[in-house]
Amino acid sequence: MADVIASNQYQATLARLANKLQSDLIDDQPAVIGISGAQGSGKSTLASALVQRLSSQGIAAATVSLDDYYLNKAHREQLALTVHPLLAGRGVPGSHNIQQAISDANAVLAGKPVSLPQFDKALDEPVAALPAQQYRLLIVEGWCLGIKAQSAAKLNLPVNALEAQQDEHAVWRGYVNSQLAGSYADYWRLLTPLIWLQAPDWDCVCRWRAKQEQQLWQRRGQGMNEHQLAHFMQTFERLTQASWQQLPAIADYTVRLDQQHTPTLLAAD
């Protein structure tokens, strides 16, 4: 990934995207920008690069991940007991404090200081929020940003073995879908413009995520084994597949990625 970031293609795409975002800004009004993309697509890398570039031009900018809004472990375990066991895990809509995310976005849009949250995945718990600051631009990155709720007919058809075996009656995915139709849809409407990192296909996404896990093992000496990772990825498959169907018509800017993460900005000039 480091080689891709250093490439002329990546830097040229970054420059074009930053220029377009600046042209979208109206009369110095604050904005909350979304970056959506599958696991391992480079969302956090792009968000950080954009913040660095915009900050160098005197724009007060910051980035936060949807992951930083995860509910604490005890809250998710309660959902697992009362709704469905799969809700003990992190990731899907319903596992975030989405009301806090909405409140933070609205604070930025109103020109008010905000204390951005942080979540420690190793501890599986939220940690101390950042000091309150006022931002002109907040960039939110998350794997499911912009994705809409699905029809009952689509929900009834399992997309993988996990759904068929562990969610036979569509309780888990029904709960996730209801979250998408509710507060998450309210949040998505605040993210303007929306950038989508378009991965090539699901197999590629799984390879990218496996590479991330290998890097985690190298850095920390811990992580998921192959079986755990395969189970984990199945919880993301339904909505990732939906993103390829929905986001071409929703995203304001689409950045197409090839197998090596090389980006091409598809938005018209």
pLDDT tens, residue by residue, 168-215: 999 999 999 999 999 999 999 999 999 999 999 999 999 998 888 777
Alpha-carbon span 242 to 263, nearest angstrom: 21
Classify residue 218: in a domain, yes or no: yes
Is-cis flag, bond preceding 30, omega within 30?
A: no
Structural domains of the chain, count = 1
Token readout for 18 is 């930053």
Q: Kindly report, residue by residue over 5-60, the tens digit of the pLDDT.
A: 667 888 998 889 988 888 877 667 899 999 999 999 999 999 999 999 999 988 99
Tell me the CATH number at 245. 3.40.50.300
User: The domain containing residue 177 runs over which residues?
Assistant: 2-260
pTM of the model: 0.94
Residues 135-156, mean pLDDT to the nearest whole number: 97
Classify residue 267: in a domain, yes or no: no
Classify residue 266: in a domain, yes or no: no
Residue 146 Rama label (left phi>0; alpha psi -120 to 50; beta) = left
Classify residue 265: in a domain, yes or no: no
The length of the chain is 269
Collapsing DSSP to helix, strand or coil, 266 comes out as: coil
